[in-house]
Chain A
Amino acid sequence: MSDGTMDRVARATPTKVARKIRGLSDRAIAWIFVAPTIFLLLAINIFPLIWTIQLSFTNYRANRVGREVKNIGLRNYERILTDSDIWLNMQATAHFLFWTIFFQVLIGFTLAYLINKNFRGSPFWTTVIVLPMMLSPAVVGNFWKFLYQPQIGLFNYIVSFFTGKDPSSFEMLGQVNLAPWSIVIVDTWMWTPFVMLICLAGLRSIPDYIYEAAEIDRASKLRQFFTITIPMVLPFLMLAVLFRGIENFKMFDLVVQLTGGGPGSTTELTSINLKREAFEKWRTGYASAYAIILFVTVFGLASIYVKALNNVKER
């Protein structure tokens, strides 16, 4: 170690410079290390956020460069909050959020519970199950569109195989009553492993002696499940729900590739609607106000949820 590159560099460096570098206090190093990150976030996250807030009070349209930009106060916000179409998008988002989380928690927890029995080969099968969630959502959405094709698609074929229905009698992506479920199915397929992994960590964190103590007290298996397993896994499960909630509130890529928001606007989640306003209709000011409303909603809901989560953890 005594003749490493660093030492040779150190010897070759003029003493003045060397003293400068050696003399850097911990505090200086701390700031030098943190500064680039903070700077990048300020430039690419905070500055744009402030700009969005400012734009949200104007009638700016990004596709008309020379046009005079007028300050219109809270008009954009008023229009959004009283627009019934936007409430329909919010409902579509809520439907998507509720059912994806419901199925993912149900299936994810069950799988974790089963994997925790440590059967032979369980690590291998866990890795297999995890694969879908690491893939590109846009590409996944795109190939599920292929699976969902009426007549030729594998999904319709399998459903008809088991139910005897004609495979061209229903269109998962084309029918108003089925499309909202088509996106729930794909999201559940993709993200159940996420909930499963977190639940598995929760199950594995429960020390054996608790069950042993319960066994000595002659608590039934069912009782053990509800008084030990569930409460101990709950904080983990809630964390999983938080992550899925935030992610699915922002959902864009998967659904845009699958349905593009259609048919009509049945699967037009808020992000897709926002994209239409901002980059197709070019109502930049209006879309900025919309973006702020969404951000405040996520942030508000997430903060309340985190409080609840901390309460559960402390219990």
Chain B
Amino acid sequence: MSAHAINAPSARQKWVAGSLVILYALVTMIPLAWIMITGFKSPADAISYPPKVVFEPTLEGYVNLFTTRTRQTQEFLENNPPQNWADEIVRQYDMVIVGPSKFGERFLNSVIIGFGSTFLSVFLGTLAAYAFSRFKIPLADDLLFFILSTRMMPPIAVAIPIFLMYRNLGLSDTHLGMILLYTAVNISLAVWLLKGFIDEIPREYEEAALIDGYTRFQAFYKVVLPQAATGIASTAIFCLIFAWNEYAFAVLLTSATAQTAPPFIPTIIGIGGLDWPAIAAAATIFLLPVMIFTILLRKHLLRGITFGAVRK
């Protein structure tokens, strides 16, 4: 909007609009800030009333998140001095660290399944999107709509036959099974988004390459792919975020080997109930990468969340 426009907002209007938006932003950040703060509280501080804003920060939540601990006798504790700072923290409860918790594994599963399915869906999605963008495919519109409509099924409805199918094929609770499933879910997003990005690359570039003696495949590989790099990267981040956040399939189809972090985090138990500081610590570690990605993605955010229906 140029400064000369008749309807340009006045300084006062801008001030009012700005204050209201900033107020909303601050209020909306309270829950997130609170959960991050809680990660640094002791269990007693986390459930104190009134809620404590000022407290002595501790890494107890993080230590509890990554370790398993057992209670020991006074005698044992006296004979075995604490090895490191983490040990010292758990000593206040007469406990010792006996090993790592399952969180590390679950987090790693999230990483493996997230990146695996993202790679597959972007790889297959780029090929399909290129074909839909450049070639005449019979029933292309119907196929594209079909690809999109697979997103309309409630995940639980899809999970029933997938559960049976995976049980028969031995894919239940495996990384491969989850990667394939998330790829199938993500591919509709990948194809739709990438088709939009590839549509925007002028055909003339490839045609010039073809005249220069490139094969169709070379033209795709050497001309189109580099041009579509930003689009491919942002599509990949969207796929990754989806797979990272997914819960319904994960909770129904995995239980141990391939369980990802989202079904695991709410089940972290401490002494006498849910260990809120450890859960908060887990949530912080789990949500932080997504927040960073969101900031990186902000230019393409709208496109990603609307399947490319709205482009800025």
Contact = CB atoms under 8 A, between A and B. Distances in A.
Given A34-B128, A143-B31, A62 B247 contact: no
A103 interface: no
B271 interface: no
A41 B38 contact: no
A136 B7 contact: no
A33 B287 CA distance: 35
B220 to A, nearest CB: 8
Contacts of A32: 127
Contact of A131 (B160, B222, B291): B291
Given A34-B127, A291-B156, A208 B162 contact: no
A135 B181 CA distance: 20
A110 to B, nearest CB: 8
Nearest to A23: B215
Interface stretch (A70-78, A82-90, A120-128): A120-128
Interface residues of A, number: 104
Given A51-B164, A136-B245, A198-B310, A278 B263 contact: no
B208 to A, nearest CB: 13
Contacts of A114: 17-18, 20-21
Nearest to B160: A278
B221 A24 contact: no
Contacts of B22: 121, 125
Q: Which of B131, B132, B252 counts the most A-chain CB atoms under 10 A from its CB? A: B131
Most central of A133, A236, A257 by chain B CB within 10 Å: A257
Contacts of B14: 117-120
Interface of A: 1, 4, 6, 21-22, 24, 26-27, 29-34, 36-38, 40-41, 43-45, 47-49, 51-52, 55, 62, 107, 111, 114-115, 117-123, 125-139, 142-144, 146-147, 149, 151-154, 157, 167, 189, 194, 197-198, 201, 204, 208, 211-212, 215, 224, 236, 239, 243, 246, 249-250, 252-253, 257, 270-271, 274-275, 278-279, 284, 287-288, 290-292, 294-295, 298-299, 302
